[in-house]
Amino acid sequence: MELFKELHANVVIVGSQMPGMNGIETSRRILAIAPAVPINMITQHASSELERHALAAGIRSVVSKADTSPMAGIIEAILRPSNPPPSAEER
């Protein structure tokens, strides 16, 4: 939480199990102060129950540590503007 407040992150990746507070509770607290920040979870213990709880807490996606390849695409999609400005060639 302190690091999030300090950095003013555009995207947050939490672990399902973190020292002091789990990722779901951390996400709830972050979203209480910054509801528009997309939060994604990475976990070693992926399950449909964990994913259900994570999504209910406002986490956008849950990715297994066994296959983190989707994470880059998820973050790129989140950061991609929905209406990008026209390129120099298009102007």
pTM for the full model? Answer: 0.74
Residue type, 52: R
What are the extents of the domains in the chain? 2-79
Architecture of domain 2-79 in this structure: 3-Layer(aba) Sandwich (3.40)
Tens digit of pLDDT at every position of the chain (91 positions): 888 888 888 889 998 888 888 999 999 999 999 999 999 998 888 888 999 999 999 999 898 888 777 777 777 777 776 544 444 444 3
C-alpha to C-alpha distance for 23 and 14, rounded to whole angstroms: 5
- Chain-centre distance of CA 47, in angstroms? 17
Q: Is 39 helix (H, G, I), strand (E, B) or coil?
A: strand
